[in-house]
Structure 1
Amino acid sequence: MRGRHFAALLAAAFLYPIADSYAASVFRCVGADGHVTFTRHGCSDDQELHLQDARNHTPSSGKAIPLADPGRRATTASASGGELVIVGQQDDGCGNLLSSSERRQAIIRKEVRRGMSRADVESSLGKPDRVTSSNGQQRYHYREKRKGGSSRQVSFDEAGCVKGK
């Protein structure tokens, strides 16, 4: 008898919907100037804090999902009045010396620039003819295919980034 109750409790525990386990705490921070920021880390002291409901209900769960109210329009701020703030950026491992467009242009033009990675150099010039290494630094050697062609050498630092001249 005791085993049946335990099995029933165990089955009920597994079948109970855990909808709120997928919820995340998202804060809406409104500054004195009206600037709105959404974050999961809370707001600063000079901002007004609003907790947002960020649950993502599963489809066909039977819960009503509120839609936008067409009768209520949000006021839009002018585009020229705001300032763009970059919160974070991807670290390329070479000090972010080149923007993505500068890196792309250098590869297209078959140039090698300080701050490029080994993969960038190989995208630009192809696989090296010879690779040498000394004191933790690597060098790629390229030789022109035609007879009497010039040679080119690219040096990398310990992190695998093109060294400056």
Structure 2
Amino acid sequence: MPLNTEKLFITLLLLLPFGAGASTVNRCQDQSGSVTFTTLSCPSGQTTTPQGINPASGMTFTPPPPTSKAEETKDRKSREVVVVGQRDDGCGNILSAEQRRKAIINRQTPTGMSKRDVENLLGRPDKIISRNAEVRYVYEEKKGRSRQVSFDEHGCVKGKR
């Protein structure tokens, strides 16, 4: 008889963390439609929807109430992503991302490529020659040939003269 009591106790201990891990998270939505989740109460003026979460079985959220088509369209328009600025490569953005990719695939070093791009493409140079404000990378290739890439004072590949 004591053996059955021990089995029952062990079974209850194993099941305890699954039931004890459940908690409630509040979904807060303000007037503009921004949604935040918190274990605390929502600020005043925001709609509160309690969400049941059980970490042992994964997160489960109840879906928000359905909205009308007019509200959906309004929400989409107000949530458009606007990108301000662009990536600055330090060489005046002469090359677009597509031109840069094409040059790397074709193992070319067009005007406007940065030193970093050239080193990623061709590796570390065998020789570096500095004269005035110009820097030249020399790459020794097969059969005694060499390849030279010239950079201006900003570290960008110079154009052909």
TM-score range, shorter chain: 0.5 to 0.7
Contact 1:98 1:115 in 2 (8 A): yes
Task: Work out which of the residue numbers 86, 90, 109 in structure 2 matches 1:89.
Answer: 86
Deviations 1:135-159, CA, capped at 9 Å, x for gaps: 2321101111x3x331111111111
Q: Which residue of 2 aligns with 1:59?
A: 38
Q: Which has the higher helix share?
A: 2
The aligned length equals 105
Which runs of 5 or more residues in structure 2 are unaligned? 1-30, 43-47, 51-62, 75-81
Contact 1:106 1:124 in 2 (8 A): no
Q: Give the superposition deviation at 1:134.
A: 1.8
Q: Give the superposition deviation at 1:71.
A: 3.5
TM-score under structure 2 length normalisation: 0.54
Q: Which residue of 1 aligns with 2:150?
A: 155
**3-state DSSP class of the match of 2:157?**
coil
Q: Which residue of 1 aligns with 2:14?
A: none
Distance 2:144 2:49 in 1: 69
Gap change, CA 1:53 and 1:76, over 3 Å in 2: closer
The alignment status of 1:72 with 2:65, answered yes or no, reads no
One-letter amino acid matched to 2:154: A
Matches within 5 A, 1:12-161: 52=32, 57=36, 59-63=38-42, 64=48, 69-74=65-70, 76=73, 87-144=84-141, 146=142, 148-161=143-156
TM-score under structure 1 length normalisation: 0.53
Which runs of 5 or more residues in structure 1 are unaligned? 1-50, 78-84
Distance 1:151 1:118 in 2: 18
One-letter amino acid matched to 2:117: D
Gap change, CA 1:59 and 1:132, over 3 Å in 2: same
What's the % identity of the aligned pairs? Answer: 50
> Which is further off, 56-65 or 125-134?
56-65
**3-state DSSP class of the match of 2:99?**
helix
Q: Which residue of 1 aligns with 2:77?
A: none
